[in-house]
Chain A
Amino acid sequence: MKKQPIKIAAVIDIGSSAVRMQIAQWNGEEILPLDRVEQAIHLGQEVFNIGQISFETVRKLSQILTSFLELAHEYGIKKVRTTATTAMREATNRLQVVNQIFLETHLEVEVLEDQEVNSLMFDVMLRDELTTDAKTLLVFAGTGITGLALCQDKQISFTHSLDMGMLKTASMLRAFTEETRHFDQAVQEYYLCNLSQLLGISDFSGIEHIYLNSGYVGLLHRLLQHDDQPTTHTISMSEMEQLYQSHQKMTLYQIASRYQLSEEESGAIYYILTLVHCLYQLLGCSVLSLSSARLTDATLSLLLLPEAKRIYNNTKTQGALRTALSTAMHYRCYYPHTLYVMQMADALFEALGKLHNFSPHQRLLLESACILSEIGNYTNTRNPSRTSADLVLNMQLYGLNKHEVFLIAGIISPDDILDLQSKDWNSVEYENDVLFISKMNALLRLACALDYSQQQKGQLQSTQLEKGILTIQMGVHEDYSLEKWIFEHQISYLEKSFGITTVLATEPVLPKEDEI
């Protein structure tokens, strides 16, 4: 077998409370860690209090990054992938900060969205042996956010990111401690309110296992008096409950004093204990696994492991479709119809893809739009498309960022969404988005038209594009007049967007029961 080349990579994560760099190499068999450094920096405190990152902090951040780069150079690494998360993203002066960092260090900082962070973290957790086939709730307890994902058979079917993390818990706790001696109850109620809302969105029943990831898992092991500190560890929920009960009435100061922790660390401990306690209250599962994998572990894996990027993208694609589908089902969409529309849209996409240079990722956006396009129908009968788009716009789909979700909403209802979002995008990007949305919307319209009655009357036999005419050949087994009539009304969109005309040709066939 041909020996794989040695790969060395360094990644930096600019987090809310620290900047971390990890350096590792792939030796053809495994990832070997080379170096791991961390410097505290309080971006989160600044951003969550004053909304932006101060000049002094930018300067300090640049100094840290410069020294990290020097360390990376010691391993002969020239390019370092650098990501930033919640604090940087939410800073109002984000663009200036990223630009200043680039000028100082030549590092291009990728500001990740919560969903991207979640996807990366969940990807690491899914690859871990602790994620079994059982129905599991993956929890990423971050500094700024709490990411949740439902998975079964190692496949994610739902994901959500809550705007509550270690920093928010700490500030909430400080405020409540001054107000009431029942501060623990107030914090718990807040958590339960946020978490229980999720129970209405997806099926949380039958969860057997919670798998929690946090950078503070090592501390938790210390509190649990585990001698060694493995990277992952499975413990009983009752052990965690005991720990929660013995700490719930303690202020951050008291926790910090007892264990000689920083206030940040004691905030993290309180956050994790309360989060796990509330999940236990809501879900009642008995097993908890802990992982201390970092975002840098996830990004390093992508850079070093062969095929990792492809597998990750594949997982994201599957996860996005699965979460879209489970959401559509939760809105009581008709499953055979949803799949039928997606199939039709896929066929049209395929027929036009080469000419228009469509990518697999664009197909994913179209497929997601197909799945979610009718959720509005079951929510609000007035202007259901707009309702669908509105719902999608505020939805979290596994592996997809805000812009991608915006595109999906746009595909579903272009006029409403493009008008709504136009100010947020610069002109070139916006125009590209308009063009893409109008093309995909045209495909969606035709696909929907082909099953307007939701009875899957026809089977696609072929599509052919020749001399500017797209011919769709359908074998139909029932009266197809309604679909044809609707189809005729939607053709103009395809003509306008693709510059081609379309012909729907039908011929009678016998029905195939198990077609879908």
Chain B
Amino acid sequence: MPVSILVQSPVSFILTDLVKAAKWTFVDFQSPSFSAVMMEYTTPPSYGSTVVNVGGIAQDGVILCAGSGNAATHTKVKDDAENDWPAPEEVKFIWNDRSKDGKPVTAVLEGSLGKRLDKVDVMAKVPGFIKTIVGGVAGTKPYIYQV
């Protein structure tokens, strides 16, 4: 069953204080019968450290549910020696949304992430001239963990 789970956490996009996210987690679950997607991010302290979560589940031709009542959790983490972030090893995603006719729909996706496909040093990818304009992102060393 072909599955690829794309998880990014934690990451601050290029302009930390101006982009309202300090941490993101994404999941894209695709299988022959279901597609389940979720995006959760936490705003930086200057925006109240608010957790925003949107997601939904679909099958061929139909959205089973969508909404913002979901939760993304890293149930097991391991400190990354390179950058001090807690790298996720196991995750649990809970969808808790409504269907088109208002009925509650829940789903859980959990498990070990397995071998990581990539780890991205975000600031290394930022074009030079943007880094110059921003003048440095104080106290942040953003990374993306992709599995």
Is chain B a partner of chain A in the same complex?
no
Residues on B lying within 8 angstroms of A by beta carbon are: none
Binding site for B on A (CB under 8 A): none
